[in-house]
Structure formats: C-alpha cells, structure tokens
Amino acid sequence: MDRVIVTWKSIPVETPIDVSGLKVSGVSNRSQLSVVEAENVRKAIVKYLGGSLTRRTAKFDLSWMLKLHREVFGDVWDWAGKTRTSNLNLGDPWHQIQTRLQDLCDDLACRQKHSPDFVEHAAHLHHGAVLIHPFLNGNGRWSRLLANIWLKVNKQPLTEWPEEVIGETSVIRDEYLISIRAADSGDYPSLSRRAVARYYPR
C-alpha cells in the first residue's frame, strides 16, 4: 500500500502526496519536504539559469524534458524523471503522456518558426506541461522552470516566481491557479501577465 503522511493538510488543486518513493529519511511533514525539495530545485536553477545557456544544454525535446524533472527532484524522489503509470485527478491519461509531451515539443518548435513572441511561447509551454501533468508530483515547479529556461535560452527576461509561501494557500497561489484555468480556455495573455508565483507544488 502507498504510504501517505496523513498529518499533512491538503491544499486545493494539489496532487496527493504519496511518500513511498521518498529517498530522504527524516521527513514527516510538508515543511520538511519543502526544504529538501527546494535544495534540489535550487541546484537545477543554478545549472540552467545561473550562467550562459545554449540549445545544446537545453534541447527542448522529450528526452531532455524528462531529464530536467530528474534534475529538479532526483535527489528526493526515486520516480523523478519517470512519467507516471497511473491516472491522477488531473492531467492526461497516463498512457498518452509521452505522446502528448512530444506534441508539446513539436508545437514549441512550430511557434518559434512562426512567431517572435517568446513570452507567449513560454506561457503555452508552461500551461501545456501542467495540463499534461506527466509526473506523480512536482509538475508545476518543473513546468515553471521549463518556461524560464525557454526564456533564458532565447535571451528574454525571466519570470519571477515568489517562493515565500511554498506549501501554503495564498492570494498569489490563487491568482496563479486562476490564470492556469484561464489558459485552459485559451486565455494565455492572462497567464503571461500573472506570472507571480514561484514553485507552488501542484
């Protein structure tokens, strides 16, 4: 049976946290988990956003997208970088995930050829990745870093994502989720304007 830390209070629109794949000992609540995950995320941010970046490092293909998730969470979870094998309460059916991720890569390449608006590309990329929800957890943080790497490699200003309320409900998180839902209906400018939350677990 999957082990879930039952003392953790659920956050709306959060994927339930199953700790059976946790690689770090001594974690018994969301605050402790946030600390160890944040350190892993920090290392990935430094690698990709801390210096120069080229398309050789960030290839934006299916293999690299999976690798990025592993780099972001691989110190903490043994399933990092592996697409889920069961359905969740949101996201695409598990057996369609790799096809949908490939479609997302192809869509990004097509947008780059036909439009110079890299911010809009990033919004579509971010939303598409969250909508697919390819991993057991960490999809929001992975997708937001994915979008910022796209901006970085194309020499655009990065989106700032405030992180002081990780793992908590807040007005900022609510605004971010409203923007994600607006993008579900095709309102991507709303998501671009409301890029105001950093690494809220989703």
Amino acid identity, residue 190? S
- The per-residue pLDDT of the chain, averaged, comes to 82
Q: How confident is the model at residue 166 (pLDDT cuts 50, 70, 90)?
A: very low
Q: How far is CA 142 from the centre of its chain?
A: 3
Tell me what pLDDT residue 164 has: 42
pTM (two decimals): 0.79
Residues 31-54 have pLDDT tens digits of: 899 999 999 999 999 999 999 999
Predicted confidence (pLDDT) at residue 5 exceeds the cutoff of 60: no
Checking if the pLDDT of 179 tops 80, the result is: no
List the domain range (segments joined by +) for residue 27: 19-193
Which range among 75-89, 101-115, 152-166, 186-200 shows the weakest confidence by mean pLDDT? 186-200
* 7 assigned to some structural domain: no
pLDDT tens for 137-156 read 999 999 999 999 999 999 99
**CA dist., res. 74 & res. 71, Å (int):** 6
Confirm whether 8 is domain-assigned. no
The answer, yes or no, to whether residue 198 has pLDDT greater than 50, is no
Q: What pLDDT is attached to residue 168? A: 55
Q: Can you tell me the distance from the alpha carbon of 27 to that of 42, in angstroms, rounded to the nearest whole number?
A: 19
Instruction: Please check whether residue 11 lies inside any domain of the structure.
Output: no
Q: Is residue 104 part of a domain?
A: yes
Cα(first)–Cα(last) distance of the chain, in Å?
A: 23
Question: To the nearest whole percent, how much of the chain has pLDDT over 90?
Answer: 63
Return left, alpha or beta for 167; rule: phi > 0 is left, psi -120 to 50 is alpha, else beta: left
What pLDDT score was predicted for residue 187?
59
Q: Which two tokens stand for residue 161?
A: 């994502």
Looking at residues 105-116, what average pLDDT do you find?
95
Average pLDDT over residues 147-166: 80
Q: Residue 8: what are its φ and ψ, rounded to 5°? A: -80, 125
Q: What domain count does the chain have?
A: 1
- Name residues whose C-beta falls within 8 Å of residue 134's C-beta, 6 or more positions apart in sequence: 69, 83, 84, 91, 92, 97, 100, 101
CB atoms within 10 A of CB 11: 17
User: Among the listed ranges 20-24, 69-73, 74-78, which one has the minimum average pLDDT value?
Assistant: 20-24
Q: How far is CA 40 from CA 70, 71, 106, 153, in A?
A: 10, 8, 29, 21
Q: Which of 44-58, 118-132, 154-168 shows the lowest per-residue confidence on average (mean pLDDT)? A: 154-168
Average pLDDT over residues 51-64: 95
**10 inside domain:** no
Assigned domain for 129 exists: yes
Residue 68: CATH number of its domain: 1.10.3290.10
Cβ atoms of residues 108 and 153 within 8 Å: no
Question: What is the torsion angle, in degrees rounded to the nearest 10, for the CA atoms of residue 2, residue 97, residue 121 and residue 44?
Answer: 40
